[in-house]
Amino acid sequence: MFSAPRADLVANTAAYENEPLVKPTGFREYDARWLFGPEINLLGVQALGLGLGTYIHELGQSKIVVGHDFRSYSTSIKNALILGLISAGCEVHDIGLALSPTAYFAQFDLDIPCVAMVTASHNENGWTGVKMGAQKPLTFGPDEMSRLKDIVLNAKFVERNGGKLIRVAGEAQRYIDDVAKRASVTRPLKVIAACGNGTAGAFVVEALKKMGVAEVVPMDTDLDFTFPKYNPNPEDAEMLHAMAHAVHETEADLAFGFDGDGDRCGVVDDEGEEIFADKIGLMLARDLAPLHPGATFVVDVKSTGLYATDPILAAHGCKVIYWKTGHSYIKRKSAELGALAGFEKSGHFFMNGELGYGYDCGLTAAAAILAMLDRNPGLKLSDMRKALPVAFTSLTMSPHCDDEKKYGVVADVVKEYEDLFAAGGSILGRKITEVITVNGVRVHLEDGSWVLVRASSNKPEIVVVVESTQSEDDMRALFRQEVKPRLGDRVGKYNQEI
């Protein structure tokens, strides 16, 4: 029998070569992520595969799609995961190098219910992880992750005969051909495809061309797992600024930025303005509302408050639900409510029905934006941005906070804001009108401004976002005079600040 994983092993020892290392903190709310080496070893990944195979058998399944992103160690990690899955008696369909949405698409294309995508997404080098699901298009949530964690850490493995590996050829091309059908651009557009040297660089240029984009300008599309310029993360200012510079330099109509595993999309318009995904989502919702009256849209708690007050959505009877941040949460809620689309500020888009399969896919999001532009041939993307009501939304800012401490810190902040609200308190001279605690705490003020503090689901960090209806200076003040002092020395250094 496979031995129970340990959390105290260190590299360059005999024990490290013979026993599985799995730190418990790697089991996140809806996926798994570890630093490869100090937090999980290859035997630990094999234990994860054996545990996952055991679990999907509990769910009445045995077939699973597996793929991997472009990291120096991802192939080794995938092979270790596959070895564990085969030991559990699973039929593994390996699609090779892939984007996360390619693996999700393969579930539909191959009619296989389960998926395990080896990816660290946009995380820095050294990280690895697995995004998992057993019911297309959904991925695991807290209940599933809790059960998987219990199986793996307590060695509740069930080894079975009959496991096998099937190597699947051509899945990436079938994914590209399918996603390209989501748009058929007739107006001449010059579009930048920014990939930060991540996995998406191998796929997105061809897909955009197949969508009818007249000129695709590749930007850092050569695969390089050292990420020589910056991490492929279109939510970070560094990548967005580089995209904006490229728009000005090439006079492009817009720039798409794709994260490390291609399930997220960032956007910069023709004026070089960085448009966060929640605002892009609002543009899409406004454009889709007349075509789908009464539609439901799901957005995460980091997203702009403009959805709730938008007159176009209201005029067409559309409903907007604010829900927990996290791709699994928004994906699941969108499916549960039959929503036309879900939008997450970090760049996850979930398009349903004729627009997509319901999973998060950066290229599906790009197709939706291109189709919107094609339906409005007289408008630039900047025109659509300017047509939105004014709101000044911050970058997503993430101070370091250990995984073992972050939920306690957030719980304390939630209580502080709840007590302040109960006492009729205010922030920077504005009364608190609502405190939403579905995911951390989102504090609404009487003028429509708000602040958010929540725990990151996949890194040892706290997440902070603020939005002002007044001015950019006020937005900065909400962070610098309210949230940052409140968190104080309970958190470490911020990844970026306004």
What is the set of domains in the chain, with CATH numbers? 14-169 (3.40.120.10), 171-387 (3.40.120.10), 392-495 (3.30.310.50)
Strand order in the sheet with 349-351: 319-323, 296-300, 341-343, 349-351
pLDDT, mean over the chain: 95
Name the packing angle between helices 74-87 and 42-58 (round to 10°): 40
pLDDT-based confidence at 124, cuts 50/70/90? confident
User: Which residue from 70, 107, 81, 71 is spatially nearest to 163, judged by alpha carbons?
Assistant: 81
pLDDT-based confidence at 146, cuts 50/70/90? very high
> Residue 301: what pLDDT?
87
Name the packing angle between helices 277-288 and 362-375 (round to 10°): 50
The pLDDT tens digits of the residues spanning 348-359 come to: 999 999 999 999
- Residue percentage of the chain with pLDDT more than 70: 100
pLDDT-based confidence at 118, cuts 50/70/90? very high
Helix (H, G, I), strand (E, B), or coil: what is residue 314?
helix
> Residue 296: what pLDDT?
98
CA 77 to chain centre: 21
pTM: 0.89
More confidently predicted of 311 and 122: 311
In eight-state DSSP terms, residue 21 is B
> Residue 319: what pLDDT?
96
The pLDDT tens digits of the residues spanning 386-399 come to: 999 888 989 889 99
When computed from its CA atoms, the radius of gyration of the chain, rounded to whole angstroms, is 22
> Residue 29: what pLDDT?
86
> Residue 23: what pLDDT?
97
The percent helix, strand, coil of the chain (3-state, each to 5) is: 40, 25, 40
Q: Which whole number is the average pLDDT over 154-178?
A: 97
The pLDDT tens digits of the residues spanning 234-272 come to: 988 899 999 999 999 999 999 999 999 999 999 999 999
Residue 385 has pLDDT above 90, yes or no: yes
Q: Which whole number is the average pLDDT over 314-334?
A: 93
> Residue 302: what pLDDT?
87
The pLDDT tens digits of the residues spanning 57-111 come to: 999 999 999 999 999 999 999 999 999 999 999 999 999 999 999 999 999 999 9
